[in-house]
Amino acid sequence: MKRKMKILIADDEPLFLQTTGELLRGAGYDCTCVSDGHAAEEALTRERFDLILSDLNMPGNLRLELLRHGRNNWPAIPLIVITGVPSLPSAIESVRLGIADYLLKPVSYPDLLGSIRRVLAETSTAPTRRLLPDSDISQAAEMAPEIVGRSPKIIELHDVIDRISGTSANVLITGESGTGKEVVAREIHRRSPRSAHPFQIIDCTAIPDTLFESVVFGHVKGSFTGAIKDQDGLLGHCQHGTVFFDEIGELPFLLQAKLLRAVQEQTYTPVGQNEPRSFDARIICATNRNLEFDVAAGRFRRDLYYRLAVIHIELPPLRDRGEDVMLLAEHFRKLLSTTPRMTPEFSPEVLARFNEYSWPGNIRELRNVVESALAMARTSWVELSDLPPLLTQAARTVPDQSPVGENATGRVGALEAAEREYLDSLLARNLGNVSKSAHEAGMSRQGLHKLLKKHGISANDYRQRQHQ
């Protein structure tokens, strides 16, 4: 039987603690509930958890002690913050510490469950999102499994990284989800003259739109209600280092102009201050969107795109990396061996299936499959019956390479069309109910709304069908 994912819930509101624990247990999770930060840290020392869901304003975390100690002592465990009393200083510090998500009470159960599912799926292979001490940055990059490989595209990738690391040119990294964009960004930083300085992650999907300026640029005392002291933004924490804007394609259009000024002039102005501050940092951005399409559609500023994409690195999907699939599978087999007994080998049939499969989730999916197969293996061999059903039922499926639509070209166009088709069927099944659709897709309402906006789809059209 597959091990249940363990979630530690820390909140000083008894009703929220009880109901959330019961709901998540009903969804198949093993939950431990505690009422303060001290009890949470005690639980973390006794047991292994896969996720922490924590309130901000509770005993033992009034100064974010649980968040800071959690990042330092248990950096591999993702942390979702949920609060009914949001404040800009806490939001800034939470993002700086590398939280996985920041939710505001009251939060709907579908949104909470969608966030938990997304974070657990992403964390299984994603590099640990934390502020690494300078001495650990090199080690973190060297441990990155996504750069394992000897296919021509990966050899070329290493060559490009070598050539650009010594410069300060801005870099845009694109590619499908799970291809290792953050790992490549860390590697560029590690090989650069800036490696002794901070590598600061700014996740554009984790910062509420209304807080973006204060979180990124900072604010001065008295600039708004609740601004009781000066607060540096995230850009102020990465002087002489590298700032990594993840999911840059999700940045709202109105905020793109503010980021453009910072990128263009290497200055930023904290909220409530008139004098700009200078900063010296290399800017690396990543997205799984096609920004050229978004520029043409008016969703992304053309001037900002050209400023960010001085150097453009397109990461290949795993299905295009040939023998790297086998190298990565073997790498994960050894990496995930945690038991004293001999780690099972892959049978020839399993290796053949690995080679046939299209790996739509890329390296992240491959690692999950290997981890699951090792846990299910009954003998010294991993057999086909040990693989997840998706792999035992499906042969290799190569996305259609033919153009789809007037703006779609090749693989990207095919993926865009497939995504739109999925959204169409999802909304049709749920009669335009966005909450139910997001719950079924395992994402937040906000995330689904962004996808619908991207494809110009209106949920109202599907609601109207119900009455026809």
Per-domain residue ranges of the chain: 6-123, 134-314, 321-393, 410-465
Which of 40-49, 206-215, 332-341, 407-416 comes out lowest in average pLDDT?
A: 407-416
Structurally, what CATH architecture does the domain formed by 321-393 represent?
Orthogonal Bundle (1.10)
What pLDDT score does 245 carry? 92
Q: How far apart are CA 122 and CA 120, in angstroms?
A: 6
Q: How far apart are CA 15 and CA 346, in angstroms?
A: 48
Q: Write out the H or E segment, with its range, that includes residue 355.
A: helix 348-356
What pLDDT score does 221 carry? 67
9: helix, strand or coil: strand
Amino acid at 309: A
Q: Residues 150-169: what's their mean pLDDT?
A: 87
| Confidence category of residue 75, pLDDT binned at 50, 70, 90 | confident
What pLDDT score does 134 carry? 34
- Please give the share of the chain, as a percent, with pLDDT higher than 70: 80
Residue 260 near residue 307 (C-beta atoms within 8 A): yes
Res 103 pLDDT > 90: no
For the 134-314 domain, the top CATH level (class) is alpha beta
Res 467 pLDDT > 60: no
What pLDDT score does 401 carry? 37
Q: Write out the H or E segment, with its range, that includes residue 244.
A: strand 242-246
Which comes out higher in pLDDT, residue 342 or 300?
Answer: 300
Which of 82-91, 282-291, 373-382, 420-429 comes out lowest in average pLDDT?
A: 82-91
Which comes out higher in pLDDT, residue 80 or 442?
Answer: 80
Q: How far apart are CA 131 and CA 72, in angstroms?
A: 9
Q: Residues 329-352: what's their mean pLDDT?
A: 81
What pLDDT score does 226 carry? 62
Which comes out higher in pLDDT, residue 84 or 414?
Answer: 84
Q: How far apart are CA 463 and CA 459, in angstroms?
A: 7
What pLDDT score does 341 carry? 59
What pLDDT score does 92 carry? 58
| Confidence category of residue 163, pLDDT binned at 50, 70, 90 | confident
What pLDDT score does 125 carry? 44
Q: Whole-model pTM above 0.75?
A: no
Intrachain domains 134-314 and 321-393 with the same fold: no
Which comes out higher in pLDDT, residue 263 or 125?
Answer: 263
Q: Residues 197-201: what's their mean pLDDT?
A: 91
Q: Residues 53-61: what's their mean pLDDT?
A: 86
Res 315 pLDDT > 50: yes
**Average model confidence (pLDDT) across the chain:** 80
| Confidence category of residue 447, pLDDT binned at 50, 70, 90 | low
Res 262 pLDDT > 50: yes
Burial string for 166-196 (b: 16+ CB within 10 Å, else e) reads eeeebbbbbbbebbbbbbbbbbbbbbbebbe
CATH code of the region 6-123: 3.40.50.2300
